Amino acid sequence: MATIEACRAALEKLSDNMQHAEGDVRTAAALDRSVSCHITDLDVSFVGRLQGGRIHVHDTLQGPPPEKAQIRLAMTGDDLVALVDGELHFAKAWGSGRVRLHAGVRDLLVLRKLL
């Protein structure tokens, strides 16, 4: 089972990957939105902001996020690490319910290029 530290490292790696992306992925990463990622098996949430092509984690909280972010993810820690490492395909994980993503329709259209 992934630890809180491994999940934070995975989010940092994802942020680094987004920072160096090109084309449509870079455009998608350029959104300015509040974000949260709830790690269901650890019952921990990382909350912050997607801004300037990076994910800035401002807080790590116990339980689900107290406020609804504009972009909300929920998954297990192992799935987060596998997604970032390229071992789990986002579309398959989302389609099977292993990963939950909630965002506005416009954001979903832009995010599909990123994910």
Mapping DSSP onto H, E and C, the string for the chain reads CCCHHHHHHHHHHHHHHHHCCCHHHHHHHCCCEEEEEEECCCCEEEEEEEECCEEEEEEEEECCCCCCCCEEEEECHHHHHHHHCCCCCHHHHHHCCCCEEEECHHHHHHHHHHC
Give pLDDT, residue 57: 96
Which whole number is the average pLDDT over 3-9?
97
- Sign of the dihedral defined by the CA atoms of residues 47, 11, 101, 110, in that order: positive
pLDDT at site 19: 78
Q: What pLDDT score was predicted for residue 22?
A: 75
Global pTM value: 0.90
